[in-house]
Amino acid sequence: MIDWTRVEELKAEIGTDEFLEVADLFLEETDEAIVTLPVPAPDTVVRERLHFLKGSALNLGFEVMADLCSRGERLAAAGQSAEIDMGQIVSVYGESKALLLSRLPG
């Protein structure tokens, strides 16, 4: 679900304190963005939302979420937003977030 190698690489690159700040910011921004997924919107808006979430997920190693967003992004680009399982993306984000938080200090 989470690419722990990516998490450790990021920690090594920026330091643990900065990593905790980045993780906190990522989770805060993603919490705000994830609630927009189930809201009906034009395909272009859905694609943009998923693109943002995919990029954020990749930065913090949320592999499964990034994968789901990528697939959804392709469907939205093809005009098939109705085919995207937004509930699955929201659920995977929740699971990934809980897993990450369980491994963070403090």
Q: How far apart are CA 33 and CA 39, in angstroms?
A: 11
pLDDT band at 99 (very low <50, low <70, confident <90, very high): very high
Q: Is the pLDDT of residue 89 over 90?
A: yes
The model's pTM is 0.91
41: left (phi over 0), alpha (psi -120 to 50) or beta: beta
Segments in 1-106 forming alpha helices (H): 4-14, 16-34, 43-59, 63-77, 86-103
Could you give the CA distance from residue 29 to residue 93 in angstroms, rounded to a whole number? 12
In CATH, what class is 4-103?
mainly alpha
The domain ranges of the chain are 4-103
